[in-house]
Amino acid sequence: MPVPLTQSLVKRSCRNRPAYERIWLPLAAVLLLARPAAAEIRVEVNGVDSDLRRNVLALLSLERYKDRDRIEPDAVARLFRRVDGEVRDALRPFGYYEPVIKSTLTPEDQQHNWRVQIEIKLGEPVLIDNVSISIRGAGANDPVFEHVAAGNALIKGARLEHSAYEKVKTDLQSAAATFGYLDARLLRNELQVDPAAHRANVVLELETGDRYRFGATTITQGAIRDAQIRRYLRYHEGEPYDASKLLRTQFALDDSQFFSSVDLLPGQRDPATHIVPIQITAVAARNSYGFGAGYGTDTGARGTISWLNPRINDRGHRMRVTLQLSQTTQNVNARYDVPFGDPVLEKMSLQFVDQTQQIGSNVYTQTVLPAPVAPDTGFSVSSAEINTREVSVTPSISVSTGRWQRVFAAKFAHDVTSDAIDNRKVDNLVVPSIIIAAIPEGYLGEELFSRSLYAQLDGSVNALGAKANFLRLDVRSEQVFNLGRVWHLLLRGEVGVSAVHNFDELPAAYRFFAGGDRSVRGFGYDDLSPLRTVEQSGVDASGPNQGNPFDRFVSQRIGGRHLLTGTVEFERDLPRNLGVAAFSDFGNALDRLDDKLAISVGVGFRWRLPVVTVGIDIAKALHAPGFDSLPGPRLHLNISPRL
C-alpha cells in the first residue's frame, strides 16, 4: 500500500532526528491534541436589584473562575456547592438573613461549558430596633461627636445595612483622631442581630480620653525669616489639636511658593501632658521660568514666557514677569507682591502692564461716487479692528476674609485707541476699582481664580484725567450642577452696566464687547456690539475718478454701554475622562438694556485633564442682530480651569 505523502515526510524527518526528539515530539503532539477546549461558565442571578446582584457576583467563586482556560467538571461541581453559602454571605450585609435560594447547574454541550442559574427570594429583611451611641470622657459634649451621631443612617425601623454601621463606627474614630482625642477607643461596638425576629440592635460606646493640644513648632528652612514663616501657621501653640489646621498650614506654605518642598509632621505625643509637637522641614525654592505655546480661536496662535522670583528678600517679597504674545494681544505684565498682616490672606502689590489689543470686528466701508462719473456704489470689508494700547501702573491691596476676596486698586493708565471712525484718541487717567470674588471654602491661595462669582466696579472722572466721566460694573458667575452620576448642567452668565457722560470719549478698553469662546459661541471674538456708521466726504486722489468728489460711509462695531451674556450647557461624561456637550448661548453688547440679543446653539467635545478641561465646540448662530445674514458654523477651542 502506498504511504501518504504527509506520513512519508514525517517518517523521513524522524529518521534524521536524534532518538530523544523522535520520542518527545509525538508525545507532545498527543498531549496537545488531548488538551481540553477553553471552558465557559455562564452565571445568571435573578430576583435582586443591581446593588445586591453586584455583591453576589463579587463573592461567587464560580464568577471568579469562569474565564479560566481549563476547569474540570469535578472542580465546577465543587464550586457550585459553595453557591448557597456565598449568596447568603453576600445578602447578609444588606439585612437579608433568611433568603430562599434555588440554583441549578446545567452542562450546555460536550465542550465543558456550563450554565448556572441562581433564583433568589430575599424574604423579610432585618430591621433596626434600637440604636445606642454614647460618648464618654472629655469629649462627651463636643459638637463634633454630636454631629456624627445625629447624621448617621442607623434609624429605628430602617433596613439594616452593615455598611451604615461600619461608617458610623469609622466616623467616630476619625473625628476623634482629627480633633485631638488621640487616646480615644471604642469600649463597645456591637451589632446584635436576631434573624428569627428580624430585628437588630446597635450599641456603640466611645471613650474619648483627654484632648491633646498643639505643642512647640520646630521649623527647619533657609528661605525667609523665621518670624515671617510663623505667620503662615494656621494654628497656635496651646490650642486644641486639629489635624485640619495642619493640612491648611501645609497648603499655605505650599502656596507661598517660597519652598520647593514642605514636610509638616506631628511629633511623638506626650500622654502625660497631652501635647503634640510639630516639625516643619522645608527646602527653599529657586527662581523659575515658564514657557508655553498654544492656539485658541479667540486669540489665534499664542505663546507665553514667564519668570518668577519667589523670594526677593527674607521678608517674603515676590516678583513675577510675564510676556504673552498672540495674534490679537501682546502683553507685558510685571508684578511685585509684599505680604503683610496675615501673609496668606493679605498683600500689597504693584503691577506694571503694557498691553496692545485688537478689539471688535471688521470695518465695513461703502463708497458712493456721484453720477454721471460712476453711478454704481462700491462696498468693501477690511480686517482692521479697534486697536488699543494701555500702559499702566496699578498699586493694590488684597484682603481675604471668609468666602470673599477683595482687591482695592487705583490704575494710573495711558490709553491709546485707534479705529476707522474717530481715528486716534489718547487718554491719561486714574481709574480706581474694587474687585470682589468668591473663593472656595478653606482656600489659602492668593489668585482670584474662582469663577463662581466675580464682580468689578471701576470708574473715573474729569478730575482724575478722564475725558468722559464713567462708572462701570461687571459681574460674572459660573456654576456646575450635577444632575446625576454622568449628567451635569453648566450655567454661565455675565452682566455689565455703565453710566457714561460722553460715550464717544470713553477709551475702548472700558467698553463692552461680546462673542467668542467664553461668551456667545457661533460668533467671532468681540464680534457683537452696536454698529456705528459715519459719512466721510473727500476727493478721489487716484484712479479713473481722480479729482472727483465722493461720499464714503464707514461702519464699525465700537462697543456698548452694557453687556448681557448667558450659557446653558448640558454635559455627559464618557469613559477615559471624556465628555460631550450640547449648549445654547445668548447675549450682546448693548447701547440699551432692551436691545436684541444674539442666540446660538451647538455641540461640543470635552477632555478633562487633572487641572484643566479642553473643549472643542461647533456653534451655529440662530439670531444675529446687526448682521445682514446669519454667520455660518464656527469652531471654538477653549482650555479652562476645572471647576
DSSP code at position 240: B
Strand partners, 247: none
E-strand stretches of 176-248: 185-194, 199-207, 213-220
First-to-last alpha carbon distance for the chain, in angstroms, is 85
Q: Could you give the CA distance from residue 167 to residue 399 in angstroms, rounded to a whole number?
A: 39
Amino acid at 17: R
Q: Could you give the CA distance from residue 406 to residue 428 in angstroms, rounded to a whole number?
A: 26
Nearest CA-CA partner of 591 in 627, 620, 557, 641: 557
C-alpha cell at 453: 462669582
Nearest CA-CA partner of 223 in 267, 254, 266: 254
Q: Could you give the CA distance from residue 320 to residue 350 in angstroms, rounded to a whole number?
A: 11
C-alpha cell at 634: 464656527
**Main-chain dihedrals φ then ψ at residue 453, nearest 5 degrees:** -160, 130
C-alpha cell at 627: 448682521
- Residue keyed to cell 506631628: 266
- Residue keyed to cell 486697536: 387
Radius of gyration of the chain (CA): 37
Count CA atoms closer than 13 A to 437's CA, side-chain side.
22
- Residue keyed to cell 469562569: 66
C-alpha cell at 128: 433596626
Q: Could you give the CA distance from residue 622 to residue 627 in angstroms, rounded to a whole number?
A: 12
Count CA atoms closer than 13 A to 572's CA, side-chain side.
4
Q: Could you give the CA distance from residue 133 to residue 146 in angstroms, rounded to a whole number?
A: 10
DSSP SS3 for 461? coil
Which CA distances in Å does 47 have to 62, 96, 117, 135?
19, 13, 11, 41
Cβ neighbour number for residue 493 with a 10 Å cutoff? 16
Q: What is the pTM of this model?
A: 0.74
Q: Could you give the CA distance from residue 228 to residue 224 in angstroms, rounded to a whole number?
A: 7
Q: Could you give the CA distance from residue 621 to residue 520 in angstroms, rounded to a whole number?
A: 9
Cβ neighbour number for residue 179 with a 10 Å cutoff? 21
Structure confidence at residue 246 (pLDDT): 94
Q: Could you give the CA distance from residue 160 to residue 200 in angstroms, rounded to a whole number?
A: 7
638 with 615: CB under 8 angstroms?
A: yes
Q: Which residues, 6+ apart, have CB-to-CB distance to 211 below 8 Å?
A: 138, 139, 179, 180, 181, 240, 241, 274
Q: Is 350 exposed, middle or buried (0-12, 13-18, 19+ CB in 10 A)?
A: middle
Q: Could you give the CA distance from residue 262 to residue 425 in angstroms, rounded to a whole number?
A: 52
C-alpha cell at 501: 457722560
**Main-chain dihedrals φ then ψ at residue 313, nearest 5 degrees:** -150, 180
494 with 565: CB under 8 angstroms?
A: yes
163 with 202: CB under 8 angstroms?
A: no
Structure confidence at residue 184 (pLDDT): 95
In this predicted model, what pLDDT tens digit does every residue of 6-44 receive, in sequence order? 333 334 334 444 444 454 444 444 444 444 445 578 889
Which CA distances in Å does 391 have to 14, 302, 352, 429?
92, 21, 8, 11
Amino acid at 251: F
Amino acid at 91: L
43 with 62: CB under 8 angstroms?
A: yes
598 with 520: CB under 8 angstroms?
A: yes
Our measurement of the distance from residue 214's CA atom to the centroid of its chain's CA atoms, rounded to an integer in Å, reads 35
Q: Could you give the CA distance from residue 588 to residue 512 in angstroms, rounded to a whole number?
A: 9
**Low-confidence stretches of the chain (pLDDT beneath 70):** 1-39, 69-70, 110-112, 360-385, 420, 422, 440-451, 535-554, 640-643
Structure confidence at residue 550 (pLDDT): 60
